[in-house]
Every structure is written in C-alpha cells, then in structure tokens.
Amino acid sequence: MLAKKIIKVPYLDLRVRDATYKKRLLKKFEDILDHGRIVDGPELKKFEERFASEIGAKFAVGVGSGSSALYLALVSLGIGRGDEVITTPYTWIITTNAIAATGAKPVFVDVLDDFNIDPDSISKAITKKTKAIVPMHVAGHMCDMERILTIAEKHSLYVVEDAAQAYCSSNNGMRAGAFSNAAAFSMNPMKILHAYGEAGVVITNDEKTYKIIKQLRHAGTTRFLKKSQNINMCEYVSLNHKMDTLQAAFLIEELDRIDEIKTKRDVIAKFYDKNIVKIGCSPQEARPSEVHGRYFYMFSCKNRDELFEYLTKKGVECKIFYSPLTSDVKVYKNNNTLDLPMARRLLRNSLSIPMHENMTIEQAKYVVSSIKTFFEAQ
C-alpha cells in the first residue's frame, strides 16, 4: 500500500531559479543583440580557449551538438568506409550513429560491471580493418583509459573518447577527453555543463586535426580574412556544424558556476552511495584515483522493473538506460557477432534515479526511503 504523502521528485529540473543568475544570462543575450555577431561572435573564441584550458588540451572547437562533435572527431582522423571502429553497445544511439555516419562499421564489445567498455573484449575484437576505439564514459564514470591506450598503441589505433557525459570526470588528475587523439563533449541542457539548447565541443592536441575540424564545422570550407570573398572554397564534404554565439556566451557563464553544480550533485550522490548499498543495490563505483563526473546516478538491483513502477507511483521519476542495446537495434543487429552477457545483464537490472543541483537532500532521503520500503516488502 502506498504511503499517503507523495513527494514529487523529477529526474531533472532545468529551471533557472536564481534571479541573479537569470539576469546574467539575459545580459549576455543583450550583449549579443547589441554587437550582432549571432554566429562566430567573440564569445565563441573565448569559450573555446577557456574550455581547452579547463580540460588541459591545446585546442577546442565549439560545434552545434555533441552528435556533431563525435562525428567530426572521427572524420578529422580519416575514419570512413571500409574501417571498423570498436565501441560499446551500452550507450545512447548517437555513439554508434556517429561511427556509421562516417561510413565505418561499428563493432560492439562487452562492458564491465561498472557499465563501461571492457578492455579485454576490445583486444579480442581487433581485426586488420580496425582503425579506432570509441570508449564512452557512462554517467561520468571514467573508462580504464590506461589499458585502452596500451591496446591502441600496440595495434596503432586511434582513440576517440565519447566524453559527452564526462565534462567533470578525471582519473589521476587527467581530465576525460585528454587521453585520446580527439574527444567529443555534449553540452545539451541535460548535461552537468549545459547550454540552453544544443551544443558540443571537440578537443585535440594535434594542430592538423584541429584545423580540419574547424573546416568541417563550416561546411568543409576555408575562411579567409575577407569573408565575403571565395566563400565556396571547399576542401571536405561536410555540413553546417557551427555553435551559435548565444550558446557559447551562456556556456561561459555555466563554467563560472560548474564547481558549485558539481558539489551539489556530489552531496546527493554520496548520500545515495552510503545508503543504497545497505538496501542491497549495487551503485556504479569510481576508483580511488577518480573524480566521477556525476552526469546521472545509476545502480543495478533485483526486481528492477517492479521497482521502477513502484517509484513512479511514489512520484520519483526514474530512467532506464540504454534500451535496447545499440547492437540490437534494427540497423545494427547484423554487426554484432560477439557475446555481450554483461551488457545484457546490466540492461535488465539497472536503474537511474534523480540527482541534480536543484534537488534537496530531503528529496534524496525520500527516494532512498521509497527504495528501502519496496525491498522490505519483497
């Protein structure tokens, strides 16, 4: 029987509640309206330089979405038709679509019980056609990049991190994205570092790659000092992947408060970590050397489907990631020739519960209490 008092706990709350901060965003909008550089304004370069500095990369290119970021990172390295790219099936579909959009074949390997790609499975899947590895840091938890890089170096493969969920993530002081030849970040409104629309960033330490990505961002063209001349000087087949000046300006403001956001999410996550284990659930664990990026909070448990329904009735909005596995969707099911037992087990048993900066500890206590009540009744 449900308790009388139902507390609504949304999975995310994207409202800007801070009146002072809202004024800062509106002022940024006014500034852009005043100077009129709606695209390729000065705020874009400022954001790119700061983003690169924060990650510890030489170059950053702001683009229109995380999807564009991953696709352009792959294309800039020459990945295309006839190539194979090893990746995880436990991810959002865009990781796989970005690979396929280059003309390359996604090759799926299994994951570990922490939801991230299994390095041993990567080694077994390498063929003469393999050109790159795309690990995805699920929920902001770092993949074992040291082992992945060792494998890549041994076989002369590119590594392109899908760091869409991992802006605040690091291991041994090295930030997500900084491990690879190029890396892709997403700043859509759901992410911990978020724009107020779609936005993404590609980072790299290689100047040649950086210059190619800048051209790919702008329909494959080269921009000259006199921008009204030779606008069709195209060297690569590409589309429009530009970031709006407005999103760059807003992201600068978000960078100024990212530490505060991360701290608030850490408080909720640590409360969950402490209490959910006592209930018999298995949360995603970070290494002692790691800083978890806190994109979302997930765990595995028994009776997942029943728990999902129960929490929904209790007013707790939950999510199930990632169903179906990307290896099982219609367009990719023929790519999968390897067993994926761990990915399938996690898909059956995992659940994501609310964790965001607008959430209160009282709401977190209610979530934990509801989970506890459910399992005590089993």
The CATH class for the domain spanning 19-256 reads: alpha beta
Alpha carbon of residue 69 to chain centroid: 11
- Which pTM was predicted? 0.96
Burial class (CB in 10 A: 0-12, 13-18, 19+), 89: buried
- CATH class, domain 258-376, is alpha beta
- What is the per-residue pLDDT for 50? 98
Tokens representing residue 29 in the block? 């909008």
Contact, 184 vs 202, CB < 8 A? yes
Q: Per residue in 217-250, pLDDT tens? A: 999 998 765 666 778 889 999 999 999 999 999 9
pLDDT value of residue 231: 85
Identify the DSSP state of 372.
Answer: H
Residue 369 DSSP one-character state: H
Count the alpha carbons within 13 Å of 333 in the hemisphere toward its beta carbon.
4
pLDDT of residue 224: 64
Give domain limits for the chain. Answer: 19-256, 258-376
Tens digits of per-residue pLDDT, 246-301?
Answer: 999 999 999 999 999 999 999 999 999 999 999 999 999 899 999 999 999 999 99
Please tell me the predicted confidence (pLDDT) of residue 225: 58
User: Rg of the chain's alpha carbons, rounded to an integer?
Assistant: 21
Q: What is the pLDDT of residue 1?
A: 41
Parts of the chain with a pLDDT under 50 = 1-3
Q: What is the largest distance, in Å, between two alpha-carbon atoms of the chain?
A: 72
